A and B are shown apart, each in its own frame.
Chain A
Amino acid sequence: EPEVTQTPSHQVTQMGQEVILRCVPISNHLYFYWYRQILGQKVEFLVSFYNNEISEKSEIFDDQFSVERPDGSNFTLKIRSTKLEDSAMYFCASSKTSGSTGELFFGEGSRLTVL
C-alpha cells in the first residue's frame, strides 16, 4: 500500500540552527501539507502546497518557515532559525484532492527537539 514517508524520524538541534525535514508524498497525489503536533496537544495546520506553490498557510507558518518541492518526489519543510517552541512532531500529508474535503494520508512524523 502506498504511504507517505518522512525523514528523519527524530532530529535534535541547537536553538538558532537551520533544520530541513523531508517527505516523500504518495506518487499520484497532488496536494501536500505540513502539520505540527506539540506534545500532548492537537494537530495544527501549517501549510498546504499545490501546483508548485503555497496555496495556504497558517499564522504559525511565519518567515522562519519555508517549503519546497525540489524535484518530482520530495517535499521539504525548512525552519531557518529554530526556537525552543518549534519542538514538536511534524507530520507531512498528501491527498489526491484538496485535503479540506478529501482523505489526507499522513506520514509517521519527524520529531524535532530544539535545545
Chain B
Amino acid sequence: GENVEQHPSTLSVQEGDSAVIKCTYSDSASNYFPWYKQELGKGPQLIIDIRSNVGEKKDQRIAVTLNKTAKHFSLHITETQPEDSAVYFCAAGGGGADGLTFGKGTHLIIQP
C-alpha cells in the first residue's frame, strides 16, 4: 500500500518568513495530493491540493509543487502570519484505494 513520509515534524519560523514542508510517497499510481491544516481541537481542513497532471499550483500565499518522477511534493507558505500556526498534513490518494494516506504531520509555529 501507499506510504507517505513528511518532514519536518516541527517547523518554527519568524513571522513574515517562508515555510516549506516536504512529503514523499511510495505508490506511483497515486495521482491526488492534498494538504490539510488542523487547528487545535478541530478536524483537518483542506487548504490546497494538486493532481498528477500539474507540477505546481498556487493560491495566494500558499503553493504546492509536485515531482512525480521523484515522488515528492511540497507545501510552500510565504509571508507567514500568526494564524498560519497549526499542524499541516500531506496526503496521497487515487492509487486504487478509497482512502487517503496521510503523513505524520508538521507542527508549524510562527514566532512573532
Contact = CB atoms under 8 A, between A and B. Distances in A.
Interface of A: 4, 31, 33, 35, 41-45, 48, 50, 55-56, 58, 91, 93, 98-109
A101 B31 CA distance: 8
Nearest to B103: A42
Contacts of B95: 100
A42 B100 contact: no
A101 B94 contact: yes
Contacts of B45: 106
Contacts of B46: 103-105
A35 B89 CA distance: 14
B32 A101 contact: yes
Contact of B99 (A42, A58, A107, A109): A58
B90 to A, nearest CB: 10
Nearest to A4: B43
Contacts, number: 72
B105 A100 contact: no
Contact of B93 (A4, A43, A100, A105): A100
Contacts of A104: 34, 44, 46, 100
A45 B93 CA distance: 11
Contact of A48 (B94, B99, B102): B99
Given A45-B98, A98-B98, 8 more contacts: A42-B89, A48-B98, A48-B99, A56-B97, A91-B43, A99-B93, A104-B34, A108-B42
A94 B34 CA distance: 15
B44 A106 contact: yes
Interface in B48-65: 49, 51
A55 B98 CA distance: 8
Contact of B43 (A45, A50, A99, A106): A106
A100 B29 CA distance: 12
Contacts of A41: 104
A93 B43 CA distance: 9
A102 B99 CA distance: 11
Q: Which of A45, A48, A50, A103 has the most CB of B within 10 A?
A: A45
Nearest to A56: B98
